[in-house]
Amino acid sequence: MLEVKKKDNESFESLIRRFTKKTIQSGKILQAKKVRFYHKPEGELAQKRRAIRKNQINKKREYLRKIGKLDEFIGPGGKKSALKKKR
């Protein structure tokens, strides 16, 4: 734990600046970010299942597009979107 004591005739802003500098130098912020944004690696079986599911969805989308039930267009932002045709 970090501790910073106010020196004689030291302003509050200077005290906060010293505290911030010590915090950064100690590496506590970097360590906290690593813990916060850590993603547990996915298992091999889960990766395979996700790949199979993605493949099935793509095949279904392609089939619907071929039979005319699905229109694809590039919308704002350059991303493809799919719209169902109205009957």
The per-residue pLDDT for 74 is 58
Residue 68 has pLDDT above 90, yes or no: no
Residue 39 has pLDDT above 90, yes or no: no
Task: Name the pTM for this structure.
Answer: 0.45
49-67 pLDDT, tens digit per residue, is 999 999 999 999 889 888 8
Region 3-14: mean pLDDT is 90
Q: Cβ neighbours of residue 87 under 8 Å, at least 6 residues apart?
A: none
Residue 23 has pLDDT above 60, yes or no: yes
Higher pLDDT, 75 or 67: 67
**What's the chain's average pLDDT?**
85
The per-residue pLDDT for 3 is 85
Q: Cβ neighbours of residue 72 under 8 Å, at least 6 residues apart?
A: 65, 80, 81, 82, 83
